[in-house]
Amino acid sequence: VIEYELNPSRDIPRRRRRVRMPGVPLLWAVPGFVLAVLVHFVAVGAGAWYAFTDWNGISASANWVGLDNFREILESEVARGALWHTLELTAVYVILVNAAGLFLALALNRTLRSRNFLRALFFAPVVLSSLATAYVWRYLFEFNGPLNQFLGAVGLESWQRPWLGDPSFALWAVVVVFVWQYAGLAMCFYLAGLQSIPEEVDEAAAIDGASLWLRVRAVTVPLLAPAMTISIAYTTIQGFRIFDTVVGLTNGGPGSATETLTTQLFNQGFAASRFGYGAAFALVLALLISIVSITQIMLLRAREARV
């Protein structure tokens, strides 16, 4: 008691710690929550509804057709091709863009004096319009364009081909352009990860006699796991959503060799005036992105925890 009287302030903070701030009524969050739902989900939900109709995008009414649009996606060879191309393109893109990004990040992390200039140089394509970039590359890939002219000049005439018109190469030409444009972005993710790795860890491994390759493989890459999670998840979503680059380069052609879910969505929804069918592609794409991204993030997070 005496102690209490002598030093009353000692107890006060303890009591203060126990005092809880008056809680914010949940009701206050309702307007913001409603607004968020309206902006983010209602419009998307309304779009999803059209996937179950035969709306042509211009008439006043739409008829409910149930799962017919999805059935047609499964039955149509072009639509199945678009789904397959999307998966192929995304898988190859994610691997290549992350490999290129990681390589650039490791190369430009510390040692080079001109690293800041080079980082800016490799990041520059990211800020360019995908469509504009695609048109420039389209010119490069033309049959009489600079790429084939170069091949001719160095005696590789047999390698010359209509890069964007050959069904065996067109999709990979799209991947090349997409990787070229976004390798700088992956580089940024990995550079941010590398900056957070203490130099001492690398130095300790070097003192212990680990070679450069062993240090990268056993020290740097495992510690980059969080950056890798972000980069792989982001580029996967980007790969699934690829549109401008395909439209600018091939518009889905030759024939349907580079059709993806997004080009089908647009071509069916707008060019062929089949908005309902186009919306079904959008829904399939959204589901695909959700399933793949969630699975991927869960696996990568589990890997992070193990590291």
* Amino acid of residue 301: R
Q: Could you tell me the smallest distance in angstroms from the CB atom of residue 286 to another protein?
A: 20
* Amino acid of residue 118: L
User: Does residue 52 interact with another protein by CB under 8 A?
Assistant: no
Q: Please count the other Cβ atoms lying within 10 Å of the Cβ belonging to residue 162.
A: 15
User: Does residue 165 interact with another protein by CB under 8 A?
Assistant: yes
The stretch among 17-25, 117-125, 161-169, 222-230 that binds another protein (CB under 8 A) is 161-169
Q: What is the DSSP string of 194-228?
A: HHTS-HHHHHHHHHTT--HHHHIIIIIHHHTHHHH
Near another protein in 71-100, by CB under 8 A: 75-78
Q: For another protein, give the closer residue by CB, 89 or 257.
A: 257
User: Does residue 250 interact with another protein by CB under 8 A?
Assistant: yes
Query: Would you give the end-to-end CA distance of the chain in angstroms?
Result: 53
The stretch among 109-117, 122-130, 236-244, 245-253 that binds another protein (CB under 8 A) is 245-253
User: Does residue 108 interact with another protein by CB under 8 A?
Assistant: no
Is omega for the bond preceding 254 within 30 degrees of 0, making it cis?
Answer: yes
User: Does residue 266 interact with another protein by CB under 8 A?
Assistant: yes
User: Does residue 119 interact with another protein by CB under 8 A?
Assistant: no
Dihedral of the CA atoms 178, 221, 103, 97 (nearest 10)? -10
Look up residue 146 and give its two tokens: 């600079």
Nearest to 177 by CA among 143, 127, 145, 136: 136
Q: Could you tell me the smallest distance in angstroms from the CB atom of residue 129 to another protein?
A: 15
Interface ranges with another protein (CB under 8 A) = 54, 56-60, 75-78, 138, 141-144, 162-167, 170, 247, 250-257, 266-268, 270-275, 277
